[in-house]
Amino acid sequence: MSKKTIMLVCSAGMSTSLLVTKMQKAAEEKGLDADIFAVSASEADSHIENKDVNVLLLGPQVRFMKSQFEDKLTPKGIPVEIINMSDYGMMNGQNVLNQALNLIEEQE
């Protein structure tokens, strides 16, 4: 399986950093080669332009931005979804990683 690039977007990029750490740990346990990172909503566009992103997950606090990201990414074949609120609140890296991988699989 090729390296997967998973981008998380939240309002400031801070609250999601703990979730990224837990997702990276879950990916390591699966033996998955993944680049998982979080950015603030204001930085998202430059990362989309400069990285080969496979999936974009939005933190619940920026769910209102979903349609504008879909407008930019759907033509590129990049899925956009909102992180499940309870998984986000519980910082469940395993579930959020699985959500991202399922979205990537659906695109392939």
| Distance (Å, whole) CA 103 – CA 94 | 14
Mark whether 89 is an active-site residue. Answer: no
Q: What is the C-alpha R_g of the chain? A: 12
Tell me the residue ranges of DSSP E strands in the chain. 4-10, 34-40, 55-58, 80-82
Query: Pick the catalytic residue: 7, 9, 10, 56?
Result: 10
Class of residue 27 by CB neighbours under 10 A (exposed 0-12, middle 13-18, buried 19+): buried
* CA–CA gap between residue 15 and residue 39 (Å, rounded): 10
Query: Could you give the residue numbers annotated as active site?
Result: 10
